Structure 1
């Protein structure tokens, strides 16, 4: 696939890849994902397809924000947004550092979950972000009620800085430096190796 911008092979689960979202062709798929009950923290439960298309067209036109469709074994499986925090709703709410990059991710809802899949998606997202040497710290702002994502974030090295009020939620502002991520990845690899001995 020529528009793929990043590839990663997970030792246990296989091939992941990322390509830019195309609002013209991806809207139907993304509408199904973001309006699913399991995607409640994306706050688009009542969105119509036209709303979703407008949202992703706006992201596509924004030089400080982009949306990427994640593939698993060549099939759409997750969504990633990356953004410049200085040009987002986080501006003025924390001390932005050079090398900060903001991120959101969504795993496609499924009735047949694969154990460890969401962690593998988040690892792919982190590898994507840190593949750019300019990115030194990832910043996220998940809803304080999203306990599952807080646990996942902690597993890859994120630390909660503080709780902040955003226009549509109260969020745990959390950050993960390149060093924190690498330490978490190394720790996970050690645990996995010990488990197989």
Structure 2
């Protein structure tokens, strides 16, 4: 059994305990494969990935100096995937003007037959708090598919502004940014002051 390290924890007043732990490409491959190939994960662009493809992708991320992946836990159970990356080196290299203190992120909620109202907002909030937990981070940068309306609404809810439409090899995306100040203001607007 692999010992996983918890790297971040937060309590949501409504939904309870959230945490991020290290990801084991071999150990977590079957779990990740179910998540990334599910029809609801179409924007993750791994619909046709085999189990071996999934393990190889997360091993590549684990070995990359500018990219990390984590398993997100809700009340101790695996419930989402989070990635953190340096957008000047991964995903957006050459596609935007990076600033000191930029960090990129991705998140994917596990498919469920019993959705919980507000869960996805709690997940993106957890990932944002994790990113801003590093005092060197000044801005979170994302590049969601232009067609992903659900994520655009979530991004706006936590303080992201769309900067511009960009063309990536695999998709057209909205380059969006959220400063620490905008995130804090968005949390305050939701009635959350910490």
Query: TM-score normalised by the shorter chain: which range applies?
Result: over 0.9
- Separation in 2 of the partners of 1:175 and 1:85? 11
For these two proteins, the number of residue pairs brought into alignment is 191
- Separation in 1 of the partners of 2:23 and 2:174? 27
What are the within-5 Å matches in structure 2 for residues 46-85 of structure 1? Answer: 46-85=48-87
- Separation in 1 of the partners of 2:181 and 2:45? 32
Per-residue CA distance 1:127-158 (angstroms, 9 max, x = gap)? 00000001110000000000000000000000
Structure 1 position 93 matched with structure 2 position 95 = yes
Query: Could you tell me how far 1:2 is from its partner in structure 2?
Result: 6.0
The verdict on how the C-alpha distance between 1:2 and 1:169 changes in structure 2, with shifts beyond 3 A counting, is closer
> So what's the TM-score if we normalise by structure 2?
0.96
Could you say what secondary structure the match of 1:6 adopts? strand
Structure 1 position 187 matched with structure 2 position 193 = no
What 5-or-longer segments of structure 1 have no aligned partner?
193-197
Which of 144, 148, 153 is 2:146 aligned to?
Answer: 144
What 5-or-longer segments of structure 2 have no aligned partner?
none
Query: Is residue 9–residue 20 contact of structure 2 (8 Å, CA) maintained in 1?
Result: yes
- Separation in 2 of the partners of 1:46 and 1:89? 21
Could you say what secondary structure the match of 1:186 adopts? helix
Could you say what secondary structure the match of 1:67 adopts? strand
List 4+ stretches of structure 1 deviating above 3 A: none
Structure with greater proportional helix content: 1
- Separation in 2 of the partners of 1:64 and 1:90? 12
- Separation in 2 of the partners of 1:13 and 1:150? 22
- Separation in 1 of the partners of 2:4 and 2:84? 21
The verdict on how the C-alpha distance between 1:2 and 1:104 changes in structure 2, with shifts beyond 3 A counting, is closer
The verdict on how the C-alpha distance between 1:19 and 1:158 changes in structure 2, with shifts beyond 3 A counting, is same
